[in-house]
Amino acid sequence: MSKSDSEWMLAGLIVFFAIIVFAYHIGQPLWGIILIALVFWIFMLVDCIQRSIDRFPGKGDYDKLIWSAALIFLNFIGAILYYYLVRKQDIIGEIS
């Protein structure tokens, strides 16, 4: 992992735990879950926008556009699909 990926991961973990603590103290865990889902969706959308075209699994010309549209229109479900089908595959490819 590069330094910027590590910084994003650390920032995400800090926000994640801050939301959990905030939700616990407010007493409405549903809002905490919603905020966690929103933060996860935003991180996946930012990752998709910043990712170069050749780092997508299909390496097609329109993969970035298709995944961006999927993330925008499918929201959290699109973020989960993007994480497992694009980001996780890229991480596994870097390790191998």
- Which one is predicted more confidently, 48 or 58? 48
Residue 45 neighbours by CB under 8 Å, 6+ apart: 68, 71, 72, 79
Q: Which domain holds residue 46?
A: 3-95
The C-alpha atoms of residue 9 and residue 4 are separated, in whole angstroms, by: 9
pLDDT in tens, 66-82: 999 999 999 999 999 99
Q: What is the mean pLDDT of the chain?
A: 82
pLDDT band of residue 59 (cuts 50, 70, 90) is: confident
pLDDT in tens, 8-30: 777 777 887 777 777 666 656 67
Whole-prediction pTM value?
0.69
Count up the domains in the chain and report the number.
1
